[in-house]
Each structure stands twice: as C-alpha cells, then as structure tokens.
Amino acid sequence: MVMRVPHIGDESLDLRPASIVMNLARLGTLYPYPLSFMRSLVRRILREAWEIKRVRTALCDGGFGDVVYEIQTPNALFSYVVFAKYIDPDRRSDRVIADDWDLTVTLCEGRVDAERLEFLRANVPLQENGRVDASCIVLSRANKSVRNFDYVVDGLARGEQPDLDHMAKVGYLYRTTAVYGSGKFGMADWNKVREAYPDFARPFAAEMFSCFLIRDFSLFQADYVAQRRAPDTAVAMTPEIKRYVGIGNATGLGMAPFLIHHPLLINNWIEVRETALARVKRDGEVTAKTRGDLSCLAEKAQMHLSQITTDNADQNEINRTAVRDLTAVMAWLQTQDKLEKWTQLTDYVAAHFGHEAQEIVNALLLELHPETFTDLEPDLSIEERYDLVPHMRLSDLAAVIEDKYRWALAVDFSTDAGLGTFWYRSVEKQEPRLGQSHKEPGYRRQMFMGVAYQVRRAYDDILARNGDMTTAEFVLAHPEHRAIIRRIQTMAQTRYGEIQANLLDADVLPIHLLRCKLSFFGVGKFDPRSRLWVRNTMFQGAPLIRDIGQMTDDIWCFPIKPDADVVPA
C-alpha cells in the first residue's frame, strides 16, 4: 500500500474525525473547491498557455460533420476529433444503453492524418461497439439539449443574444452521457496516461479536458449554424454569455461503484480536502479584507443557489434552506468584531446548522484562501495496493474491526430493511442497477457494494475462532473473507477509511455517492431526477479557449448569470 505522507507542518493539524467526514449524508453535501479536477485542469491550461485551435472544420450548413482540434501543451501535441451527426429525435437518449448520439469524440496523442481520421470515423461514433487503440486517451459522447440549442441558434440568426433568464434555466447546449478512459475499448490505460502524458497525469484530467472541449464545440457549432442560416443578420454569442454556458451531464448509478471499489483513492481525496480545510482554519488570516471577501463570496453562492432551476422539490428546499442559513451565518459574523480564527466560525456553524450549511461555509473558506493549500494538488494521485497481513492474530484483527469499523458493526442486518437492496450490472451494456432483495431475482449475482455486511460476516466468523489463530490460517479456512480482510487491514491504516454507510439498506440514497464524486470533479448545479440519477452542469463560468493567454485567475466558483449591463444587447 502507498499512503499519503503528510507535508512538514501538517502533522499537528486539527483534522475532522472520520466519524463526521465519512457520513454518507454529509458526503452528499460536498461542494466543488479549488482542487476539484476541472478547476485544477483549467488553471494549468491558463498558466501554461496551452495552444488549442481547430485545424479542420468539415461541417454542413446544419453543423453536421467533423472537426479536429490540435492541442499543443508544453509536453506534447494532442488531437481532439469530433463527429457531429443528425439523429432522429426518437433515438436520442441520455441512458447508457443508447446507441446513437448527436456528438461523439476522442482525445488522442499526436496529429491526425487522413488515414487515421477515417479509422476514427469508423469506430468513434460506435462508442462501446467500436474499437480504438492505445493512442486514444478518452472516448465520449453527448446529446443536444435540443430546445435550448434551437432557441440559441434561432436568436443568434435573428441578430439577438440569448436571454439570460432563459439560459439560467438550463445553462448548457449539450450534455455528456458517458466519458470513458483508463483503457476501456482499447484506449491507453491509466498507467500509460500517468507515465507518458504528464499533462493528464492527475485524476480524471483527460476526461475533464474532453468535457471542456465538448463545451467549446457546442458554442462554436451554435455560432456556425446561425451564421450559415442567416449570414446577413446573424451575430456570434458574446464572450460573457459563452462563459456562462457550461456542458451538461447526466450521471447515474455507474459512478457509485467507483467510490466503493477504490477506497484508498477516495480516502486520499478526502484527506487532501480535509487537510486543505484544516490549513485554512489554522493559517487563513481574519482581516477586514478577508471578511469582506467572504461576504462577497457568500452573496455569490446565494445567487448561484437561487438561480438553479430544478423540478425536484427536495433539491429546491435544500437550496432555499442553504440560502437562508447562509444569510443567518453571515449576519452572526457581522456581530463578531473580535473573531481571530476561522475555526470560531466553523464551530458556530457546526453547533447551529446542518450538513449543507456547514459544507457550503467550508467551501467558501477554501475559496477564500487557496494559497494555503495549492501545494497539495499533486497529492490527489495515489497508487492503490491492498495488502493482507498474514501474521496478524485474530484477536488483534477483531480489535481493529471494533475500532475502525464500529460503524459497520452497528448496522442491524437481521431485518429485511438491513439487506433490502442489492446492486447488480444489467446484461444490457453492464449498467449498474438496484434490485429489491426480497422481491426480485438476481440477488445471487449482486456486485460488491456491501462493505458493512461483509465486515459483519467476517467479524462473526473471526469471533468463532481461537484468537491466537493467524490471519493466514483463518483465510485458508475461510477464503470467502480474504478480500474483505485484506481491505480491512489496509484501510485501517488510513485516516478516513471507508464511507460509513450500509449501501444494502432498503432506503439507501445513491445520489449522495454521486454528489460526493461529482464535487471532486468540480461539478455543480445539481438537478436530481430521482434518488438514482442527477443532471448537473460542468465548466459553467469557466474561461474560454480565447481567454488562454489573457487571464490566469481562478474566479469561476459558484457561477452566476452575467450582469445584463455588461452584456451587449
């Protein structure tokens, strides 16, 4: 196992305990922060002034055809190939099981010549049913938000800019439905990406870059179609509005297993974030300026939450409550003339408000003092290895479980509710789904998601054996427990370990897992469609390709509508 080594000076940091941080409901309230993957990526693009240009545009007047981008980084040349096509509206679907899309793309190394373009044209639009090679890094697809795309193009063709209130309701022209990397379908695996492509050697950097360029293409395509439709009257969308347009995303259960199957990596992401927060509370100065900056950030966050449009009543109430609580928090702060440390603020919020308010205040503090933790960025990557400790005696192993997994031992699995859900992959395209354990077939084909249940089973069998028996002897007698014991012994050495929840409970809320992972991506504007999937928006407010070389500031957190006074009519 490779564990994160604390930086000098971090050993004495006051980090929150796992019992607080790894609570599933709390993880479902996390917000993006400056080290979120898309934020880190954009900072790098701006800082290193990547050269990104369209070298081939072969589109018909309707915007269908292919486009090739070339990306020159300080380390290498990459190509990004886009295939846009017309599809019948009846064939457009955000489900993973779809087999046709408005847009399919790939990111690959080097320059794309005519022969290679034809190879990609024969395979990329097929997605899972095609095959690429190890020079490709990412494979993805996206669908139009048809009404929004048509509304924007119709207006631009008439010479009119999109209405900001209308754009706030959706916030994107396309939404991705899958972004594949790490060796799938013949692509370069993660080891190759990490070692051969330093520009994309951090978690999900290549995948986020693909989404960044889908966003750029969507804006380019809208301008292009409007200009071809009405060359005498059409106008291009203003840069201010373009920055407000993001790229949509539909995320379902497919994202949830990742958090369970990569506990070392997730522990690492959480520990980096908690270290950043602890540094801010220790080192961030409380001055008249920082108090004023915090007030401005809070107002921006409230506007952002107020501008989110969703039909989900629960999410609307969550957003309204967060706005209301944040108003109360800032009002309290105005009365604290002698505030010396931000810990005083976070302690007050923890004592008087719920998870959502606590985590949005933490997010604001992280935005306020990024200079205290940007050196942690390289720590987000880690090599995962799960080792069995064969010589450990069962009495010691039982003590480890009682200490580190007491949350799992507290779950009551004797009721139908405790084991009410099972997770499985559908035969059709291997899409993760949920089943009801006592009502639906397929229980015996469930995928591994029940960490707490496996811990309980292993613990009960451990107690039935002689405490002097070694772990090696035990797993020889009980090979069914080998994997979970290896996991227990490995994760017990980490600070945050496991997500502390029974994911087999009848009332489990997978959406908390989705929001947790998406926050590390940098995703915001959550629009839950059920407890199983969510729509959201990426890169809203982010710089454009035209901004490379012109700006370096990372100020696009909590994106809000541009001021109508600075957007030309």
Q: Is the pLDDT of residue 569 over 60?
A: no
| Position 291 pLDDT exceeds 70 | yes
Residues contacting residue 362 through CB under 8 Å, at least 6 positions apart: 277, 346
**Which of helix, strand or coil describes residue 347?**
helix
Q: Which residue has the tokens 């809320």?
A: 509
Of the listed ranges 128-142, 273-287, 424-438, the least confidently predicted one is 424-438
Q: For residue 66, give every residue at least 6 positions away whose Cβ sits within 8 Å of its Cβ, in sequence order, or none.
A: 56, 58, 59, 81, 82, 83, 84, 117, 121
pLDDT given at position 60: 98
Phi then psi for 284, rounded to 5 degrees? -70, 125
Q: Put the strands of the sheet holding 136-144 in their side by side order.
A: 51-59, 65-72, 77-84, 103-109, 136-144, 172-180, 246-251, 534-538, 524-528
Delimit the domains of the chain by residue range. Answer: 49-252+540-549, 285-368
Q: Torsion angle, CA of 85/78/98/516, rounded to 10 degrees?
A: -130
Mind listing the pLDDT tens digit for each residue in 186-211? 899 999 999 999 999 999 999 999 99
Q: Is the pLDDT of residue 567 over 80?
A: no
Tens-digit pLDDT profile for residues 75-89: 999 999 999 999 887
Region 393-421: mean pLDDT is 96
pLDDT digits (tens, 9 = 90+) for 53-72: 999 999 999 999 999 999 99
Mean pLDDT within 386-391: 96
Instruction: Map 289-336 to HEC letters.
Output: HHHHHHHHHHHHHHHHHHCCCCCCHHHHHHHHHHHHHHHHHHHHHHCC
**How high is the pLDDT of residue 95?**
62
Give me the mean pLDDT over the 310-327 stretch: 93
- Taking the CA atoms of 11, 15, 18 and 23 in sequence, report the sign of the dihedral they define: negative
Tokens of 35: 């080290």
pLDDT in tens, 111-135: 999 999 999 999 999 998 898 999 9
pTM flag (> 0.85) = yes
Helix, coil or strand: residue 506? coil
